[in-house]
Structure 1
Amino acid sequence: MYEYDVFISYRRTASDISDWIRHHFHPRLSEVLDNNLFDDVKIFFDDQVSTGASWPDELHSALLRSRVLVPICSPKYFRDERCLAEWYSMADREALGAGRRLIYPVIFCDSRHFPDWAHARRPRDLQQWNHPFEHFQTAPAYLDFNQQIKQIAAELEELIEGAPEWRDDFPVRTPDPEPPTRARRPRF
């Protein structure tokens, strides 16, 4: 069964992106979608993974049980193996779903260096509102950001409602594990 309506995919080592998602994008999108849809809305953002949980397993399970992927795109997103695995997993699911769109990309910064196949998705450009600082909520530009979120939510509603029936054999790609680093011998 589906557990999440939206899975937010992003480059986790970029603190400005994760702060922006945590402080602005995730809470506003959650509120607007939840107000607009009949059922309670659940959005997966990996800051919800509890301490001690197997992070890769949690991501795998959440992606398998999500209806729509929202990648927060930056140039390095497309060099990150985990991000690409999440994108390709949902693209594989789209291929099974007879043309249903399940990927809704958002531009966080500098789309000039995105691959052509990412541009072909016509991502939503939020570069103008990519301020990670909490006090952005008090800026006049936040009202425009809120309007953008309302438009995104309306478009995501259609994708969520059009998601295929859940299957336990949906493809979920995972990046190859990194080899363990070699321990250094202490020098005396």
Structure 2
Amino acid sequence: MALVYEYHVFISYQRSSPTVPAWVRNHFYPRLRELLDDLVDYEVKIFLDDQVPVGGEWPKVAREALRRTRILIPVCSPKYFIDEWCMAEWRSMAKREELAGLTTVEMPGRLIYPVIFSDSQNFPDFAHERKMWSLKSWNLHYPQYQDTPEYLDFHREMERVVEDLVEVISLAPPWRPEWPVETAAPAQPKTSKLPRF
């Protein structure tokens, strides 16, 4: 096993959503990869779960990739926070922040870099404690969205995200073999604010 990081970024998202996975694959991941690659002098490595080969042990591969990734980018939607896998990924990185001493006012944790796909009103309290980058205005998952004038605004916003990410990635603590990968029960959803009929 390598004694260093393998990935710069691990993209965490709710996989059973009808829209989030398509948006991540069609828009977020490709722009993140190309824009990061344009700004740095190293080969950018981003873990996305579709890189697990057919027949591969998905949970084992994902856990090892998370252990060997510098930062986590959760793509946040209300159902993200009730998905057991997503919460395991979030809590694993939060525990790493604790172990690395990144939970004080002087050393605020930045190993979790949340982006908002939708809503945010119904996120749990622990999520609201973190500053998040909202991409709600550009959350159309259709491939043809790239052909609209509005997509240029998304591209410019992603440029700003990536400029910030370059610094965050560079500040990740040195790799340790004891970085935890936890399994956690999903957070309880908040009561809906929509009326029941």
With the length of structure 2 as denominator, give the TM-score of the two structures: 0.87
Structure 2 spans left out of the alignment, 5+ residues: 103-108, 186-197
- What residue number does 2:37 align with? 34
Aligned-partner SS, 1:112? coil
| Aligned partner of 1:153 among 162, 174, 196 | 162
Aligned-partner SS, 2:19? helix
| Partner amino acid, structure 1, of 2:181 | V
CA separation in 2, counterparts of 1:34 and 1:95? Answer: 30
| Aligned partner of 2:90 among 87, 90, 102 | 87
User: Root-mean-square deviation (CA), in Å?
Assistant: 1.1
| Partner amino acid, structure 1, of 2:183 | T
- What residue number does 1:118 align with? 127
Q: Which has the larger radius of gyration?
A: 1
Q: Verify: 1:4 aligned to 2:7, yes or no.
A: yes
Aligned-partner SS, 1:174? coil
CA separation in 2, counterparts of 1:6 and 1:37? Answer: 14
Higher share in helix: 1
| Aligned partner of 1:97 among 97, 100, 112 | 100
| Partner amino acid, structure 1, of 2:58 | W
What does the per-residue CA deviation read over 1:15-57, in whole Å, with 9 as the maximum and x for residues that have no partner? 3100001010000000000110111101111111110000000
List 4+ stretches of structure 1 deviating above 2 A.
none
Shift of 1:174: 2.6
Percentage of identical aligned residues:
51
CA separation in 2, counterparts of 1:51 and 1:130? Answer: 29
Structure 1 spans left out of the alignment, 5+ residues: 177-188
| Aligned partner of 2:146 among 107, 126, 137 | 137
| Partner amino acid, structure 2, of 1:29 | L
CA separation in 2, counterparts of 1:50 and 1:95? Answer: 32
- What residue number does 2:115 align with? 106
- What residue number does 2:195 align with? none
